[in-house]
Amino acid sequence: MFSRDAMSYAPIPLPDRIEMTDEDRSAAARGFLDRMRTRHSVRDFLPTPIPREVIEDCIRTAGSAPSGANHQPWHFVAIGDPTLKARIREEAEIEERAFYAGGGGDEWIKALEPIGTTAEKPHLTIAPWLIVVFAQRWGEFADGTRYKNYYVPESVGIATGFLIAALHHAGLSTLTHTPNPMKFLNSALGRPGSEKPTMIIVAGLPAENATVPAVAKMKKPLEEISTFF
């Protein structure tokens, strides 16, 4: 954590060391791959409540992610209140209607056609939890003095990946939603101007009739997403 007081480097022994054979490592890597292959973005959710402590632990997992200078430049707002979810849906759909009316541009809208999205976002009120991810562009001491955060997009992106993986590991389905612009989320959730909302993660159980677009299962093969030397 960053402190106004002088802090010195103080190494400690590695707290956790996982000992594995190569065979165990291979099995663990394959097992995690198989688990994550069952993750799907869905837009059809059940209103079934999910205990708050499940969401809390998933956010704790996100908070364990590495970050630039260990500043941890993120804040997660978890919303289960129906009235607030309704407000967010209303304001998000205003932005979405403008987007689909042409604000997004023909190329972007055409790229979304295989996904089947529209300006209507009922999942924002049906799913039990919305988690809004904020990136802290700068921090402030108690007296209001600013300090710089480093590698903010990279750090928040890693933490968000941790969060999505944790929610999936807990048996929840998710959807990443990015209304554009998202500034309304600051006022709706009382977050300061130093924070930029990056996305809404919808979390809950999938509806019995939940579907995914066929194109979503078309993943690039290893040779297209990696290079080994």
pLDDT tens string 31-72:
999 999 999 999 999 999 999 999 999 999 999 999 999 999
CA distances from 23 to 16, 19, 213 (A): 20, 12, 36
Cα 145–135–137 angle (5° rounding)? 35
Strands 138-140 and 195-204: unpaired
Residue 94 sits in a domain whose CATH number is: 3.40.109.10
Q: Half-sphere exposure of 99 toward its Cβ, with a 13 Å CA cutoff?
A: 21
Is residue 198 domain-resident?
Answer: yes
pLDDT tens by residue, 130-189: 999 999 999 988 888 999 999 999 999 999 999 999 999 999 999 999 988 899 999 999
Question: Mean pLDDT across the stretch 6-13?
Answer: 87
Cβ neighbours for 223, distance < 8 A, ≥ 6 positions apart = none
Is residue 183 domain-resident?
Answer: yes
Count of the separate structural domains present in the chain: 1
Q: Are 138 and 147 in contact (CB under 8 A)?
A: yes
Q: Which residues pair with 77 in a beta bridge?
A: 132
Is residue 159 domain-resident?
Answer: yes
The Cα–Cα gap between 195 and 176 comes to 19
Helix (H, G, I), strand (E, B) or coil at 8: coil
Give the per-residue pLDDT at 78: 98
What's the pTM? 0.95
What residue numbers bound the domain in which 209 lies? 49-225
Is residue 44 domain-resident?
Answer: no
Q: Are 202 and 177 in contact (CB under 8 A)?
A: yes
Is residue 59 domain-resident?
Answer: yes
Is residue 101 domain-resident?
Answer: yes
pLDDT higher than threshold 70 for residue 1 = no
Of 161, 202, 171, nearest in space to 74 by CA: 161
Is residue 208 domain-resident?
Answer: yes
Give the per-residue pLDDT at 2: 64
